[in-house]
Amino acid sequence: MPTVVRQGSIELKVYFSDTMRHKAPHFHVWEGGESVAVVRLVDLTPFVGGPLSRRVRRLAEAHWEALWEAWDEHNN
C-alpha cells in the first residue's frame, strides 16, 4: 500500500487492487499509525470513518491529482 502523501502524523494511502470491497476510487487516511477513514476521490467524502479534519481535507485537496494518479496506477 503506497503512501502517496505524508505530512507529520497523517498519511494518505492508495492500496493495490483495492476494488473488491470498495468499488469507487478512494484512498485511506492514516493518522498516528491508525486507519481513520476511507475517502471517495471524486468528492473527498469519507464513506468509512468520521468526517475529515480541516488539516486532512486541505492535504487531500492539495494532492488530489497525485491521489488519482496513484489510484489509476494501482487499480486499473
State pLDDT tens for residues 10-54.
999 998 776 656 678 999 999 999 999 999 999 999 999 989 999
| Grid cell listed for 20 | 473488491
* Model pLDDT, residue 21: 63
| Grid cell listed for 48 | 468509512
* Model pLDDT, residue 50: 85
| Grid cell listed for 3 | 503512501
What pLDDT band is residue 4 in, cutting at 50, 70 and 90? very high
* Model pLDDT, residue 22: 60
Q: In what order do the strands lie in the sheet with 26-31?
A: 3-7, 10-13, 26-31, 34-40, 46-49
pLDDT tens digits, one per residue of 52-75: 999 999 999 999 999 999 999 888
